[in-house]
Amino acid sequence: MHQRLALIDMGTNTFHLLIVELPADRGQEPTVLLRTKVGVKLGEGGISHGEIAPAAYARALHTLQAFQEEIELHQVQQVRATATSAVRVARNGPELVKDIFEQTGIRVEVIAGAREAELICLGIRQAVPLGLEPNLLMDIGGGSVEFIVANDQQIFWKQSFEIGAQRLLDQFFRHDPLLPADVQAQQDYLRDALAPLLAAIDHFRPATLVGASGTFDTLGDLQAARRGEDYSHQPPARHISLESFHESYQQLLRLPHAERLQLPGMTPLRADMIVVACVLIDFILRCGPFTGITASAYALKEGLLFEMLLPND
């Protein structure tokens, strides 16, 4: 049997599992055997206080146990698991890593924000032809947001900011729907928190915003639903027009939770976080000469897979 790899991305909001079989000819694409995700909400109830709350901790262990069952079922030979912002900053993050290993045998690598940004860039490049001009790549996690200015060959600038959607939700989701004052408060906060990014946008002048995260997936689904298109299967990359983004954004600002849930294309897990995430996206779009948005279905785990498949020098 050909070698099989499992890649686990323990995000602050969602845990992802990707299982692939490697071809005999390394020049060919790996075969995807399983691609699944679970809304663990690891940051819920604790991330803004620097810890993983007991309920979220239990969900994480339960999910990794389920992933381990799939890994055994698929007879995987090699497992790579990464954890990002929630585990990186939590006081009990090391304890969770230890418990996961003791209960499942899975060793979790807690990666730094700069490393996370590099892997996200690698993943996006497998889905989106970036070309020679600088693009702004953006991954909105629950705990952190990674920004990378890159083309298809080079990373010009990168930085991870601990301003993820769960943190923004805890801090600015004061009313449902949001009031204009709530939106203004978040934008004022972002102007200070993202000062290094604003300088990078001003310097490199990227024309395209490439988004890799559940938020951008959902924005693509909302657009497809409005157009009467099938959104049950997400392509590796798709274009979201600025008009479509603003239509979704205004709708999300206007509707309360129950009505957001009813929107065709909405994911229940994301019905609140997407509101503060869109405030962030709107802020970014106002800061540069962006002409459109590209949503990438590939991110960190696909970058890790690509890196693992590179020939050793």
Q: What is the reported pLDDT for 1?
A: 58
- Can you give the pTM of this predicted structure? 0.92
Q: For residue 133, what are its two tokens?
A: 């001009």
Mean pLDDT over 240-258 rounds to 96
Query: pLDDT, tens digit, for every residue of 29-77?
Result: 889 999 999 989 898 887 778 899 999 999 999 999 999 999 999 999 9
293 - beta bridge partners? Answer: 209, 240
Q: How far is the CA of 11 from the CAs of 86, 99, 251, in angstroms?
A: 7, 17, 27
Query: pLDDT, tens digit, for every residue of 157-188?
Result: 999 999 999 999 999 999 999 999 999 999 99
DSSP class of 21: E
Mean pLDDT over 186-194 rounds to 97
Q: Sort 125 into a burial class: Cβ within 10 Å, 0-12 / 13-18 / 19+.
A: buried
- Between CA 63 and CA 67 the distance in angstroms is 6
Residue with tokens 């995430």: 277
135 - beta bridge partners? Answer: 150, 208
**Structural domains in the chain plus CATH codes:** 4-111 (3.30.420.40), 129-300 (3.30.420.150)
Q: What is the reported pLDDT for 48?
A: 77
* CA angle at 189 for the pair 199 and 291, rounded to the nearest 5°: 50
Q: What is the reported pLDDT for 27?
A: 67
Residue with tokens 């976080």: 273
Q: Give me the chain's average pLDDT, please.
A: 92
